[in-house]
Amino acid sequence: MSKPKADVRKHVLEKSRGLKEKDKTATTTTTTQTFLSKHLKKIYPLSFQRSNSSPSLFSISSSQNSLDSSHTDTTSPQKDQKATLPLPSPTRNMPLIPEKKEIVPVPNIIPQPSMESFHRSLKRCSWITKNSDKVYVQFHDERWGVPVYDDNQLFELLAMSGMLMDYNWTEILKKKEALREAFAGFDPNSVAKMGEREISEIGSNKTLMLAESRVRCIVENAKCILKIVREYSSFSNYLWEYMNHKPVINIYRYPRKVPLRTTKAEALSRDLLRCGFRLVGPVIVHSFMQASGMTNDHLVDCFRFRECVSLAERPWRHV
C-alpha cells in the first residue's frame, strides 16, 4: 500500500514542478516580448494593431519581415496583424531642399600688365637703356632694321642720317614732324624746286635749328634723286639693286662688334658721291642702311632680330 502512495506523491510533485516551469517560461517569454518590442520601436517605428491574441515573437518577426519587403509585397504573413509606416512629418524625415542663392560674379581683381610694362620688359639692343627717350625706343622697335621701299621714306631717312653730323637720333626724331612739314613730306619733286627764299625760311626756323648749308645739301640730294629716278625708274630700285635686292643679315652678340662702317657702305658712299649727293660719307651711309633695313644690325638677343630677319626673308616686293 505504501508504494502507490509514493507514486501519487511523486506525480503531484512532478505536476507542481511542471506548472512552476511553465509559469517561469511564460514570465521569461513576456519579459522577452516586452524587451524586444521596446527596442524594436526604436529601430522600426511600427504601430501594431490589437488583435484577439496577444502579440508573440512570431508576430513581431512577421511584422519586421513585412516591413523589409514592403516595396515588393504588400501582403503580411498574418491577417490579424497589419504593419503600417507612419506618415512623414512636415518637419521631420523630409529631405531638405537647398535654397537657391544668387551667384554674384566676382570681379577680376588680378592686375593686368599694361602695354608700357610689357614693352619695358622686352629684351632690346644694349644701346637702348632705361634712360632712352620714348621716341628713340619706338624708332628702334618699329623702324630700325625694317626694309623700306618707298622713295619718300628713303629720302627722309637719308636726310635724317645726314643730320647725325650735328645731332643724335633722339634729337632728330623729335623734330621728325617739323622736318616733314618743312620739306613737303620729303617728296623729291617738291624739295628739288625749293629756291633761296624757302631755303632761308627753313634755315631760320628755330624749331629745326638747321644751318642753311645743311638745308642746301638736302635740296641738292633731292635733285640727284630725280636724276636717278630717270635712269632707274625709282630711287628704291637704285639702292636695292646695289644690294642685290636682299638685306644683309648680320649676327652680332655684343655691341662692340657692330661696326660704324662696312665695305658695302663705303662702296655705296662712293657711288652716291659720284652721282652728286652730299652728306653721304661711309658712316652716314651705314647709319642710313641700318635705318632703312638694308642691313639688319640688331643684336641676336634683341626681340626685333627675328622679326627683321623674317621681313628680310620675304620675297622682294618692290616694283
Q: Are 171 and 133 in contact (CB under 8 A)?
A: no
Give me 19's grid cell: 506548472
- The CA-CA-CA angle for residues 120, 248, 164, to 5°, reads 60
Q: 209 — alpha (psi -120 to 50), left (phi > 0) or beta?
A: left
Give the number of other Cβ atoms within 10 Å of residue 161's Cβ. 24
Return d(Cα 141, Cα 302) in angstroms, integer: 10
State the angle between helix axes of 263-274 and 235-242 in degrees (0 to 180), rounded to the nearest 10.
140
Neighbours of 230 (CB within 10 A): 8
User: Residues near 267 by Cβ (< 8 Å), separated by ≥ 6?
Assistant: 242
CB atoms closer than 10 angstroms to residue 212? 13
Segment holding 294, helix H or strand E: none
Residue 262, CA atoms < 13 Å, CB-side half-sphere: 19
List of residues 6+ apart from 307 with CB closer than 8 A: none
Backbone angles phi, psi at 299, to 5 degrees: -65, 150
Neighbours of 295 (CB within 10 A): 22
Query: Between vectors from CA 253 to CA 250 and to CA 257, what angle results, nearest 5°?
Result: 70
Residues that constitute the known binding site for Zn(2+): 125, 140, 298, 302
Residues tagged in the binding site annotation: 125, 140, 298, 302
